[in-house]
Amino acid sequence: MLRVPGSDCDLLILKSRGADVRVVYSPIDCLKIARANPAKNVVFFAIGFETTAPANAMSVWQARQQGLKNFSILGSHALVPPSIASILQSPLNRVQGFLGPGHVCVVMGYREYEPLAARYKVPIVITGFEPIDILQGTLMTIRQLEAGKAEVENQYPRVVSREGNKVAQDLINKVFEVGDRKWRGVGMIPKSGYKLRYEFREHDADRIFDVKEIDTKEPEICISGLVLRGVKKPHDCPAFGTRHPLHQRSRWARPWSRRRAPARLTTLTGATCKGRRPAPAAAPLPHPEPALTQSE
């Protein structure tokens, strides 16, 4: 996150200019910093999908319990199911199947994905992150496509259940509420993120520092929205592997296709980080290729 571009620069540049920017192991560590520095405002950048929401919710809950007035979070939590729905509703969409987010489903379960699979007629396979998990998840998705099925399957049963972690969900619901969120390359998606509830406003950096007045402009060169919809591949971006390191490390959207499996695997494992390009495209198939996207 230190290198993610902001309005004018990134956090690493600010740190080089003397700003007190720290990397912490857990948001709970920020409570210790806040207690040790009562005259300073300590702001934690709470970013991520549903996976990181429980720990961030716990930090806010404990801050209120301990009366730490100088601790707040800058929330940037996104929700996976609404983003999948937005992709599938787009007229440009070419995605025909999803490798579902394994670690998100550890927390939330996979019940929310069942209506998506039924409504949009797409297979969704909840998948882990080891190479064998991704391969098996891909195989399960392709088998559904070839059989004409559209169901939610769980490739990751060793840690994922249908119901998820009820304790974590209860804490999330106590601290956060669902709100609209702007997505890079896509725009505003209704009810696709978490924001702090009003009763926790003393720990909401958005309210304290009036962050909503800050508007960032996306680079014109960015094609992330087209990548998410399966219209473009990551290496089609003019900045891929050159100007923008985030394109080399993008994890939450991973397009796949049957005819270019080796190239997609190269992208998944990050082999392009040293400047190597994916394999040349094979000859076009006579019918549309299914594209799969993994969310995490």
pLDDT beyond 90 at 165: yes
SS3 for 169? helix
Residue with the larger pLDDT of the pair 250 and 218: 218
Identify which has the larger pLDDT, 254 or 173: 173
- Higher-confidence residue of 217 and 205: namely 205
Topology of domain 11-79+165-213 in CATH is Rossmann fold (3.40.50)
Question: Based on the number of CB atoms within 10 Å of its own CB, is 265 exposed (0-12), middle (13-18) or buried (19 or more)?
Answer: middle
Do the beta carbons of residue 102 and residue 133 sit within 8 Å? yes
Quick: pLDDT tens for 101-111. 999 999 999 99
Q: Is the pLDDT of residue 216 over 50?
A: yes
Q: What is the pLDDT of residue 263?
A: 34
Residues 6+ away with beta carbon under 8 Å from 250: 224, 227, 234
287, with CB counted inside 10 A (0-12, 13-18, 19+), is exposed
Closest CA to 113 of 153, 142, 53, 77: 153
Q: What is the pLDDT of residue 246?
A: 46
Contact indicator for 185, 218 with CB cutoff of 8 Å = yes
- In which band, very low, low, confident or very high, does the pLDDT at 223 lie, cut at 50, 70 and 90? confident
Q: Considering only 201-215, 217-231, 235-249, which range has the smallest mean pLDDT?
A: 235-249
DSSP assignment letter at 149: -
How high is the pLDDT of residue 75?
Answer: 92
| pTM, 2 dp | 0.76
- pLDDT for residue 200 is more than 70: yes
Tens of pLDDT, residue by residue over 41-94, are 999 999 999 999 999 999 999 999 999 999 999 999 999 999 999 989 988 888
**Nearest residue to 42 (alpha-carbon basis) of 1, 74, 14:** 74
Hey, which of 2-16, 52-66, 218-232 has the most confident mean pLDDT? 52-66
pLDDT at 214 over 90: no
Condensed to tens digits (0 to 9), the pLDDT of residues 231-250 reads 888 889 888 877 654 444 44
